[in-house]
Amino acid sequence: MPFAQKRFCSSENITNMQTISDVHNKSFGENYGTLIEGLPLPLLSRAIFVVDKTGKLTYVEYVRKSPIIQIMTKPWLRSKRRRNP
């Protein structure tokens, strides 16, 4: 989410990184394999993409396990959370 990216960069004093968000149209997630299907709300898996000055993708790393994704993909946990906010 854009606000979380901005907060992270501010708290870590990062000023030389461009952040992007796919929160509205999901095209990046669909094109680069990070969109997680079947969740109550669409999310992207964690990944690292490094692009050089010429626009060439030089490094890709997909993070396969994320605690929040594991929780959200278990139907019984989702229904339990709805009853007990």
pLDDT value, residue 81: 44
pLDDT 10s digits, 4-23? 888 888 999 989 888 888 87
pLDDT value, residue 38: 79
Q: What residue numbers bound the domain in which 33 lies?
A: 2-83
pLDDT value, residue 65: 66
Strand bridging mode 47-51 / 57-62: antiparallel
pLDDT value, residue 62: 87
Number of structural domains (the chain) is 1
Is pLDDT above 70 for 36? yes
Q: HSE of 8 in the Cβ direction (CA atoms, 13 Å)? A: 10
Distance separating alpha carbons of residues 33 and 41, to the nearest angstrom:
17
pTM: 0.53
